[in-house]
Amino acid sequence: MSPGLSWLLGDQVGRDGMLCIFQNHYYQPLWTLVGAGAKQLAPSSRPTASVIPSGVKWIQSRVQKLDPDKNCVHLENNQKISYKYLIIALGLQLHFEKIKGLPEGFNSPKIGSNYSIHTVEKTWKALQDFKEGNAIFTFPNTPVKCAGAPQKIMYLSEAYFRKTGKRSKANIVFNTALGVIFGVQKYADALLEIIKARDITVNYKYNLVEVRADKQEAVFENLDKVGETKVYQYEMLHVTPPMGPPDVLLNSPVSDGAGWVDLNKETLQHKKYPNVFGIGDCTNLPTSKTAAAIAGQSGVLDKTISSIMKGKTPSKKYDGYTSCPLVTNYNRAILAEFDYNAQPLETLPIDQSKERLISFHMKADMMPYLYWYGLLKGYWGGPAPIRKLLHLGLK
């Protein structure tokens, strides 16, 4: 981007702590493996100050209001900052409190969630302490970040039960509010084969509405039959919480009716305010909310803003690229990559719907490195150049 003083506002903090609690920045994709005991929690965290680029002024304050008509941002303590260009990257908010019995239910054993710094290690404890009964994994009736994560921990748990001789005593259940296992047919077919082979029960259109931790009961509503609920006894429960935009975006002039930043899906420029841009989970871009998507978006957003600063029309377009490394075992993963049209957009010249060791190591070892030393430093804008090279320019 063009040189000059940039401002970085401290990340919005959700009701559960969210991504960046000011002093610490977290690489959340690692938490899938932390919850399964395959990685430690500590490497997922670094001091926020250590990842802020030089020349950027870090303002440790929450955003209270966005006023794009006056080109200013209102902060806590009646502070106000004016801007010439604004990039909104507020992430999303976890809503455990929308499930009756949570978050207080996490004080009881047998329940965890890989979506929070406060509960991810509880998942591993529940997995280790499992004796006999239902191991239940949930997917909520809202947009979520990393939509594959709720079932990744399910596959890892099933593998752990096999490894520890507990599989015959475990009934593994995936209750999802969705109507499909995955939104891209190629990868859905591969996952359904795994589910069948490993004797996993999937219930579609089932949404978690209550946790009775004292009784180890989970209550689900049937989205196809209004008013109908079903109670499950659990020995282990992994909760994926409902999610939504940060409060500051609700009813904001920069947001659509649902509270997401309203962008042109190709340029990432705001549909109404030409000097406002967005990136990541807080936007209404019709693609999966993942770190890989943000990488692809960053490469486009850099070019878009640079062009506008020079008085030119943006030409580089974001194709909706996103990726989900679907971990299916402690040494295997399916590397899903796709675009806005839910069509595979694979980087490697192999069939990435197959479970592979290389896909697992990319998830567990290469991608964290790319995040800390590539994406956060502005060197990694997604794998498009590599894909073009490996496919001889045909993709």
Range in 6-20, 165-179, 242-256, 357-371 the model is least confident about: 6-20
* Distance, CA of 104 to CA of 359 (rounded, Å): 37
pLDDT at residue 93 greater than cutoff 50: yes
228 plus 132 within the same structural domain: yes
Token pair listed for 195: 């589910």
Mean pLDDT of all residues in 269-294: 97
When divided into structural domains, the chain yields a total of 2
* Distance, CA of 32 to CA of 392 (rounded, Å): 34
Percentage with pLDDT > 90 across the chain: 91
Evaluate whether 194 touches 355 at the Cβ level (below 8 Å): yes
| The last residue of a domain, from among 192, 214, 244 | 244
Residue 395's pLDDT is 55
Mean of the per-residue pLDDT values for the chain?
A: 93
Instruction: Report H helices in the chain.
Output: 31-35, 48-51, 120-129, 149-163, 185-197, 291-309, 357-361, 367-370, 384-390
| The last residue of a domain, from among 244, 276, 305 | 244
What is the residue range of 280's domain? 2-92+245-391
Residue 49's pLDDT is 93
Would you call 72 a catalytic residue per the annotation?
no
- From the number of C-beta atoms within 10 Å of its C-beta (0-12, 13-18, 19+), residue 271 rates as middle
38 plus 12 within the same structural domain: yes
Range in 22-26, 46-50, 105-109, 294-298 the model is least confident about: 22-26
Residue 291: name the closest of 326, 246, 324, 244 by CA.
Answer: 324
* Distance, CA of 64 to CA of 60 (rounded, Å): 13
307 plus 360 within the same structural domain: yes
11 plus 146 within the same structural domain: no
Read off the amino acid at residue 258: A
24 plus 104 within the same structural domain: no
| Element of type H or E holding 7 | strand 6-9
Range in 20-29, 73-82, 230-239, 341-350 the model is least confident about: 20-29
Annotated catalytic residue: which of 20, 72, 146, 282?
A: 146
Residue 392's pLDDT is 74
| Bond prior to 385 in cis (omega within 30° of 0) | no
pLDDT at residue 10 greater than cutoff 70: no
pLDDT at residue 117 greater than cutoff 50: yes
Residue 12's pLDDT is 43
113 plus 221 within the same structural domain: yes
pLDDT at residue 369 greater than cutoff 90: yes
pLDDT at residue 7 greater than cutoff 70: no
Annotated catalytic residue: which of 20, 72, 282, 324?
A: 324
Mean pLDDT of all residues in 95-105: 98
* Distance, CA of 320 to CA of 14 (rounded, Å): 26
* Distance, CA of 160 to CA of 389 (rounded, Å): 38
Read off the amino acid at residue 98: K
Token pair listed for 300: 């486009």
378 plus 250 within the same structural domain: yes
| The last residue of a domain, from among 244, 277, 292 | 244
Would you call 20 a catalytic residue per the annotation?
no
pLDDT at residue 34 greater than cutoff 60: yes
236 plus 253 within the same structural domain: no
pLDDT band at residue 120 using 50, 70 and 90 as cut-offs: very high
* Distance, CA of 86 to CA of 273 (rounded, Å): 10
Mean pLDDT of all residues in 159-179: 98
Mean pLDDT of all residues in 320-325: 98
281 plus 380 within the same structural domain: yes
Dihedral of alpha carbons 161, 44, 293, 239, sign: positive
Give the pTM.
0.94
CATH at 44: 3.50.50.60
18 plus 146 within the same structural domain: no
Helices 149-163 and 120-129 meet at what angle, rounded to 10?
A: 30
230 plus 139 within the same structural domain: yes
Range in 11-25, 148-162, 346-360 the model is least confident about: 11-25
* Distance, CA of 220 to CA of 209 (rounded, Å): 6
pLDDT band at residue 68 using 50, 70 and 90 as cut-offs: very high
250 plus 332 within the same structural domain: yes
* Cβ-proximal residues to 270 (8 Å cutoff; 6+ apart), any chain: 68, 254, 261, 262, 263, 264, 276, 277, 278
Residue 229's CB: how many other CB atoms inside 10 A?
13
